[in-house]
Homo-oligomer: A and B are copies of this chain.
Amino acid sequence: MFNVFIQVVRQDLLAAFRHQSAILNPIWFFIIVVTLFPLGLGTDPTLLSRIAPGVIWVAALLAALLSFERLFKDDYIDGSLEQMMLSPYPLAWLVSAKVLAHWLLTSLPILIISPLLAIFLSLQIDAFYALSLTLLIGTPILSLLGAIGVALTVGLRKGGILLSLIMLPLSIPILIFSTMAVEAAASGQDYLGFVLLLAAMLVGAITLAPFAIAAALRVSIS
């Protein structure tokens, strides 16, 4: 059982590493979006540091969103999704492995390079810690929620933007709590409350989302 989990994660990572660009791309996208904002908004450092957490979070969200389509789509097209649904292992379990692989490939790199971007956007160190923490807790929730959206839309052609339509409203609470945490940190306040809230959401998502994803897939593929 655990073997299969590892195998699924392994295969997904392998397929991604085969296409080296698939690993670097989300990071690049993220960097580019973050740099777009100073370009579009002007270059005043105080303005920038004020909007920085919001911009980084929105960029992370968009990067996640863009990469979601990949999550099940390829598997759907080549038929491995069907095969996964016909496997004797619980679908929710297999699906969790896929979500984990996806998080490792898209959000982890973003987490790793966020210090660089903090410099770009003149973010203070306190706010930066808070930002990293919220990204660490928040992005897995995004991945899990996103996977539900993907599972619902995977059977449809033109699912791409429909997906963002479904997913963005779901992820707004995470965005709000996270940016509130960062703002609190920037103004020297205690932000533990927000972080705990996010952590509670994460626990909820990890226990419930896999079943929702599995159910959604059974609806989509029929």
Show the binding face of A for B, using Cβ within 8 Å.
19, 21-22, 25-26, 28-29, 32-33, 36-37, 39-42, 47, 50-51, 53-55, 57-58, 61-62, 66-67, 69-70, 74, 157-158, 160-162, 164-165, 168-169, 172, 175-176, 179, 183
Decide: A40 and B25 in contact? CB cutoff 8 A: no
Residues of B with C-beta under 8 A to A164:
25, 28-29, 32, 66
Decide: B36 and A175 in contact? CB cutoff 8 A: yes
Residues of B with C-beta under 8 A to A162:
21, 25
Decide: B175 and A39 in contact? CB cutoff 8 A: yes
Decide: A160 and B70 in contact? CB cutoff 8 A: yes
Cα(A69)–Cα(B68), bound, Å: 14
CB nearest neighbor in B for A168: B32
Decide: B40 and A53 in contact? CB cutoff 8 A: yes
Q: Summarize A's interface: helix, strand, loop or mixed.
A: helix
Decide: B172 and A39 in contact? CB cutoff 8 A: yes
Decide: A161 and B36 in contact? CB cutoff 8 A: no
Decide: A19 and B158 in contact? CB cutoff 8 A: yes
15 contacts between A and B (CB under 8 A): A21-B162, A28-B161, A29-B168, A32-B164, A36-B175, A37-B54, A39-B175, A40-B51, A40-B54, A40-B58, A40-B176, A41-B55, A51-B51, A67-B160, A67-B161
Known: A25-B158, A160-B66, A162-B21. A54 touches B32 (CB 8 A): no
Residues of B with C-beta under 8 A to A21:
158, 161-162
Cα(A183)–Cα(B162), bound, Å: 33
Besides A28-B161, A47-B51, A69-B160, 20 other CB < 8 A contacts? A21-B158, A22-B158, A25-B161, A26-B161, A33-B58, A36-B58, A39-B172, A39-B179, A40-B51, A40-B53, A40-B54, A40-B55, A40-B58, A40-B179, A41-B54, A41-B179, A42-B179, A47-B47, A66-B164, A74-B157
